[in-house]
Amino acid sequence: MALVAVTALAGCGAAPTGAGSGSPPAAVTAVAVTSTASSSGCGRRPTPTSRVTGATGTGDVVQTLRVGALDRSYRLAVPTHYRSSVASPLILLFHGSGSNALQTSVYTQMPKRAARDGYLVATPDARDGQWQLSSPGARTDDLAFVAALVSSLSSRYCVDRFRVSAAGISLGSEFASIVACTPADRIAAIGLVAAEFLLRPCRGPIPVVAFHGTADPIVAYRSGGTGAALPGVPVIGVEDNLAHWARLDGCSSGPHLHQVGTMVMRRTWSGCKGGSGVVLYSVLGGGHTWPGSPIDLSAAGFGATTHQVDATGLMLAFFGRHRLER
């Protein structure tokens, strides 16, 4: 779809702060430092250490990175039992419009929970709360920030370069898609909440797990629907968007439907190239929210939050099953 159809996602996705919850185990495979997947940070003393990052209630701490003429901020969580002799997978987590890294760390609980399961998690801050939407691979400050961030972390920590994943909500979800479709960033899998438009150019396969409420008042679920993100302008629907991802991944079968509880329908595409996969969790009557979050946003503004599925836990398990093979 045209870029204008997603630019209004800049008006959605903010979340307040709150408490945390537990996590199902994720499948994290240790990679020996002799592997070509290992980064230059293997064998080096990390900065900051896992002991320091584990000391906060969110599981992560603020860091800064100079990119060109700008100082950019992000939050970093280090695996609870980090070892510089073992390459750790990395997750890039992007906040929604008007939100920030701290709010998103608390709202999703991704940094704390993923660190327990062996992941590094970087949650960047957008300038003025707004990610720059663009064609994948464009020369923008935000894409330069992401590239510099991955490079910096790879030089300071032992990162599995074949296991870098991206996730986000709303505007952050769409930015995660753009990052994944930008060749230099080499993203192994993505987790998308409340926005999942596929922008071109994009080279697949890219494994995708997505979550979207059918009563989302901000980004409409159904094809031809309208929402607060783009008033009066009909959008491509969520199921059509995931079908686009499935075609990009060369999936030969699906979607296969499975009812998950009373509120959630799972659609799965299979037979995808390179072991990829595409999964959509449709939250029946759900809103513009992160499923399973310990924080229920205002139903009047965002719609209902389901607790029948746990987006953070499902993403971690999904990321644990996928790695780059090239």
Dist. CA 128–CA 125, nearest whole Å: 9
Dist. CA 301–CA 277, nearest whole Å: 33
∠ CA(18), CA(20), CA(24), 5° rounding?
Answer: 150
Residue by residue, pLDDT tens for the chain (326 residues) are 333 344 345 445 544 433 333 334 445 554 545 455 777 889 888 877 655 555 567 889 999 999 989 999 999 999 989 999 999 999 999 999 999 999 999 999 999 999 999 999 999 999 999 999 999 999 999 999 999 999 999 999 999 999 999 999 999 999 999 999 998 879 999 999 999 999 999 998 999 999 999 999 999 999 888 888 878 889 899 999 999 999 999 999 999 999 999 999 999 999 999 999 999 999 999 999 999 999 999 999 999 999 999 999 999 999 999 999 86
For the chain, the domains span: 27-320
pTM for the whole thing? 0.89
> For residue 47, what are the contacts with CB-CB under 8 A and spacing of at least 6?
156
Topology of 27-320 in CATH? Rossmann fold (3.40.50)
CB 234 within 8 A of CB 303: no
Dist. CA 37–CA 262, nearest whole Å: 42
CA dihedral (249, 254, 257, 258) in degrees, to 10, reads -70
